[in-house]
Structure 1
Amino acid sequence: MASELSADPTDAELLAAHVAGDPDAFATLFARHRDRLWAVALRTCGHAETAADGLQEGIVAAFRRAESFRGEAAVTTWLHRIIVNACLDRLRAEKVRRAEPLPDDLDEAERPHHTQADPRAADPAEQSLAGERRRQVLTALGTLSAEQRAAVVLVDMEGYSVAEAAQILDCAEGTVKSRCSRARARLAVLLAELHGVDADVSAPTAPDGNPPGPPDVGSLASRGPPADTAAVD
């Protein structure tokens, strides 16, 4: 028998209700987090078709494996882990370096409910410059390995802590730091031109032991996923 839900159920309550047989609980849970899960899948895969397949496979896996949730992490962390792993499995299976450009409507696909107007949107010059910067950032992200990109997407673009990213990626915190460190060092070199500065690959490390991150990569790329995949972690 399905469990009785409160008026405003928590994620954990929705998942428990789904396990108990509620036919609508999982759909409600997925709808609540759909946009962010899609954004993570899109940025991790760098291609809308692959991301859609990864998201679908991940959601089916979460639906079927809901009983395995033990409450050791937040439901959102558990969902992101399944989705990211499904996307990484897709990328590893394909082992294809995609070279085609991103579709023009990818920003809108990632942010379907965005309504706040950008005051610079009416300025064609600003819009063109912002678009070119974003394309360069995404191209730079595309040179990273899938594992490095997943770590940078979660920590630098989605705002997860290293500990949370480690839970999602099911690896040690040190591994996340290492992947982010290597990714940031590469991005700093590739993106230095955007800010008219020379990249210093021997720059001192930040207080957390990582090299300084690339200039504003989160804000520059916040409206689009990475454009490519690469082979080396």
Structure 2
Amino acid sequence: MFKVRIKFEKNEYSAYISHLDLMNTLQRSLVRAKLPVRYTEGFNPHIYLSILVPLSTGYQSQCELADFDLTTDTLPEDLESRLNGVLPHGLRVLEVGQASRPVNQIAFCGYEVHYSSPWDESIPSLFQGEVKILKHSKRGDREVVLGDYVRSLEFFPEEEGFCCRCVLRAGDDPLNPSYITDILRFHDKIKREDRPLYVRQSILDGEGKDFFQTGKVE
């Protein structure tokens, strides 16, 4: 058995595929690519497949990660091309390797958030000091300090609007970049009709390094 990890992009209309539908899409694509995938046992067998850091619906990404098992002991050389030949528009495999690192080593995710509202030089000052937010989770709402969840945060103007580039905590207690948007809206720094474009750029370990390992067999 070979444990495969793929890095893939999720862009354009595919950003609006829900997590469950994305799972189904990837499973169907693995079958269409005629890969020797491993199935569960029982009355309703399905492909062993997991998406490592599920992405919010409507967000784009350059670095999604998914794991699945092959019944073979080696990685097919043409796995990437076979998958890309059957994936729908907006989904594309970027790298293929071995799932050698445990998922609990994921610590941060990097994002870019693009706003169409005009740039205001006072925006960075809103995030200085001890900024408190009301964080929502399945365990209930609680007040937290934003800085405890932020590894890096910067703003800069673009040709049309401005961008936030940030690295936020992932794992068991993650922070969604929508909280940054909420702060900007509260201070009237973005227009009501502004619909930000969220793009995940990286999935990182505790040292801030790219979590994905190619694991290529020489």
TM-score (norm 1): 0.26
For normalisation by structure 2, the TM-score amounts to: 0.27
Point out the structure with the larger strand share.
2
The structure with the largest helix share of the pair is 1
